[in-house]
Amino acid sequence: MNNFKKLGFIIPSSCTVFEFELAKLSPQIPTTIGCVSRLLITDTNEDGLNQMNEGIELAARQLATINPDVINYVCTSGSFKDGYNGNNNIKKLLKKYSQSSEVTTTSESVLEALKKLKIKSLVLLTPYNKSITQLEIDYLNLNNISVYDHMFLDIEDNLERGNLDPKDLFNYATKLDFSQADGILLSCTNVTSMEIIKPLEKLTNKSVITSNQASIWHSLRLSRCKKKINGYGKLLSKY
């Protein structure tokens, strides 16, 4: 175990997808172990996200007991909803309880992934409501990423998001006008999207970023794990 990279992930309590998608990649990264702590969430609206984030301190303290190489707060909307300052405050809280660890969030991971693939404009698909989707567009714009087209599915229940058929997600993504965009962003860590990245890239000839893909990729980079992962899009095939 001494040679293993320990990746700590903080996820919403009703998230059923992140661990499933991490497990798909695990055979290609055998020297890493993913350890998860959960935040209690009862509603996916802004008030629910605020209440969920009150549990970050306890989740960070729990993960700190394994002395992880990285802690990643894995909730896209929870990390972008308050803009740069909100995201930075989450990182400060994580660092407070695990000073020896690298810390990041899904929103930061997405930005790093977009930078890696040189994506300056994109189309966006979310399961969120209109107002939270707009907060994500605002967050991307503040970071010099333009959103050429977008769609929100307005799915409130997090378990329903987790049950969304990836084939349906694929079909929704193809309805976006990606002709003038550099890439496609499938937002939310609780939608099953890993398996559609490669076929969507092939169909559209655009780079595809998903919340889970970016979170795992950035966590691996921060842990100095240089293993490339095949079969799940351009991003994971790069270090």
Average confidence (pLDDT) over 3-19: 96
pLDDT tens track for 109-137 = 999 999 999 999 999 999 999 999 999 99
In percent, the amount of the chain with pLDDT more than 90 equals 95
Residue 3 in this model has a pLDDT that exceeds 90: no
pLDDT tens track for 68-121 = 999 999 999 999 999 999 999 999 999 998 888 899 999 999 999 999 999 999
The whole-angstrom separation of Cα 230 and Cα 233 is 7
Please report the pLDDT score of residue 132 as a whole number: 97
Average confidence (pLDDT) over 136-160: 97
Please report the pLDDT score of residue 174 as a whole number: 97
Residues sharing a CB contact under 8 Å with residue 202, sequence separation 6 or more, in sequence order:
none
- The strand ranges marked E within the chain are 5-12, 32-39, 70-73, 102-105, 121-126, 146-152, 183-186, 207-210
Q: How confident is the model at residue 1 (pLDDT cuts 50, 70, 90)?
A: low
Residues sharing a CB contact under 8 Å with residue 118, sequence separation 6 or more, in sequence order:
182
Please report the pLDDT score of residue 2 as a whole number: 61
